[in-house]
């Protein structure tokens, strides 16, 4: 009769030990997950504009009725430039991506041949440029 209780006690002790080990292992596993240090914050900086300097050169179609390109220099380096030629304030579809301002003179070349501008509508050159990142014109 006592032998039966001994086996039962041993089985119970083993079950408790297994449960404790499993619980401690699970805790140790979850406790080892960490978050690396990182930065977050907000700040401000002055936004200054660019000056478009000359020469500003326009390229016209072979028949001379449309503007198909423009070249100009900026007074500073730009990672991306967009330009629009329009009769009034430009709308989204007036803008073309010109790429970066390059070289010592920060020269920019814009190609409008995919959507030539009629001479009558070529009244205003608008330029958007950024010193880092890309120019995005909202629709």
Asked if residue 120 and residue 87 are part of one domain, the reply reads: yes
What percentage of the chain exceeds 90 in pLDDT? 57
Residues 6+ apart with CB under 8 A from 107: 71, 72, 73, 101
User: At residue 18, does pLDDT exceed 90?
Assistant: no
Its pTM stands at: 0.67
Helices (H), 1-139: 2-31
Question: What was the pLDDT predicted at 75?
Answer: 92
**Containing structural domain, residue 94:** 52-130
- Which of 111, 47, 95, 100 lies closest to 73, judged by CA? 100
Asked if residue 21 and residue 56 are part of one domain, the reply reads: no
Asked if residue 59 and residue 15 are part of one domain, the reply reads: no
Asked if residue 126 and residue 62 are part of one domain, the reply reads: yes
In a domain, 92, yes or no: yes
Asked if residue 124 and residue 59 are part of one domain, the reply reads: yes
Per DSSP, 103 falls in state T
Question: What was the pLDDT predicted at 7?
Answer: 57
Count: domains in the chain: 2
Tens digits of per-residue pLDDT, 57-114?
Answer: 999 999 999 999 999 999 999 999 999 999 999 999 999 999 998 888 899 999 999 9
């Amino acid at each position: 009769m006592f032998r039966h209780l001994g086996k039962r006690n041993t089985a119970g002790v083993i079950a408790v030990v297994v449960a404790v080990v499993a619980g401690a292992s699970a805790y140790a596993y979850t406790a080892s997950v960490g978050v690396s240090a990182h930065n977050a914050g907000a700040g401000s900086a002055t936004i200054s504009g660019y000056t478009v300097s000359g020469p500003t050169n326009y390229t016209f179609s072979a028949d001379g009725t449309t503007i198909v390109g423009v070249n100009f220099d900026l007074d500073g380096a730009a990672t991306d430039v967009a330009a629009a030629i329009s009769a009034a304030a430009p709308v989204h579809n007036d803008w073309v991506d010109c790429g970066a301002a390059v070289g010592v003179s920060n020269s920019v070349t814009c190609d409008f041949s995919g959507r030539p501008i009629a001479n009558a509508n070529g009244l205003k050159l608008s330029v958007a440029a950024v010193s880092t990142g890309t120019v995005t014109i909202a629709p």
